[in-house]
Amino acid sequence: MHFIPEALDDYVVAHSANEPELLKALTRETYQKILQPRMLSGHYQGRLLSMLSKLIRPKTILEIGTYTGYSALCLAEGMQKDGDLHTIDINEELHDFQRKYFDKSSYGNQIFQYTGDALEIIPTINSTFDLVFIDADKPNYPAYFHAIIDKMNPNGIILSDNVLWSGKVIETLQKNDFSTKALLEYNTLLKEDKRVETVVLPIRDGLTISRMIN
């Protein structure tokens, strides 16, 4: 989605931080070999994730939805030197692809991969989190929130991607559109839950920043 004219959007990207070479290579290979490459965070959103992580300086990060590892590498850029990042994806076929790029980075030994159902895996991770990025199957967004909320550290940040869902959140809800239905519930949950304060950013497909209130 573009919320501003495409030419202006191009200007914004051109005057934001450059995309690291490793992430350029990851992007190229994703488009060459992997289905649905538009799921990649991409240059601009990746630089935003990197900037937010550098501002937060998290020691522990959880990512729900790894895909090919682009966003994990961006988030790792702001991680503390002794920090760790836990990333979960349902698609076991992407495991080796992700690992290849993780190991090419300087964060390889700090990134821990999990394959399977995130709702089953999250309770087994013996850690609490300073930063969580949710970018997985939309129908489970509310469930992911409930799974992680009690594992957040004071002032922890939850980033949620695709919360505007190509504008469908303001259109008439179709009977079998479970993704949009879940996102409508999720957006309301973030707005009304007293444990977090939330702001929605109209960036790409919508990115929400929620901060734990302690």
Model pLDDT for residues 159-206, shown as the tens digit of each residue:
999 999 999 999 999 999 999 999 999 999 999 999 999 999 999 899
Quick one: pLDDT at residue 70? 97
pLDDT for the residue 145: 98
Q: What is the pLDDT of residue 1?
A: 67
Overall average pLDDT of the 6-24 stretch: 95
Q: Write the CA distances from 87 to 65, 117, 173, 185, integer angstroms.
A: 7, 12, 32, 24
Q: What are phi and psi of 157, to 5 degrees?
A: -115, 135
Of 35-39, 55-59, 198-202, minimum mean pLDDT range = 35-39
Order of strands, sheet of 129-134, starting from the edge strand that comes earlier in the sequence: 111-115, 84-89, 60-64, 129-134, 152-161, 207-212, 196-201
pLDDT given at position 4: 84
Mean pLDDT, rounded, for 125-134: 97
pTM of this structure: 0.96
Whether the per-residue pLDDT at 110 is higher than 80: the answer is: yes
Regarding predicted confidence, which is higher, 155 or 1? 155
Q: Which residues contact 213 (CB under 8 A, 6 or more apart)?
A: 194, 195, 196, 197
How much is the pLDDT for 100? 97
Percent of the chain with pLDDT over 90: 91
Provide the mean pLDDT of the chain: 96
Distances (CA, A) of 189 to 45, 87, 183, 194: 24, 24, 9, 9
Q: Above 80 in pLDDT, residue 2?
A: no
Mean of pLDDT values over 101-120: 97
What b/e readout covers 152-179, taking b as 16+ CB neighbours within 10 angstroms?
bbeebbbbbbbbbbeebbeeeeeeebeb
Residue 129 has pLDDT above 70, yes or no: yes
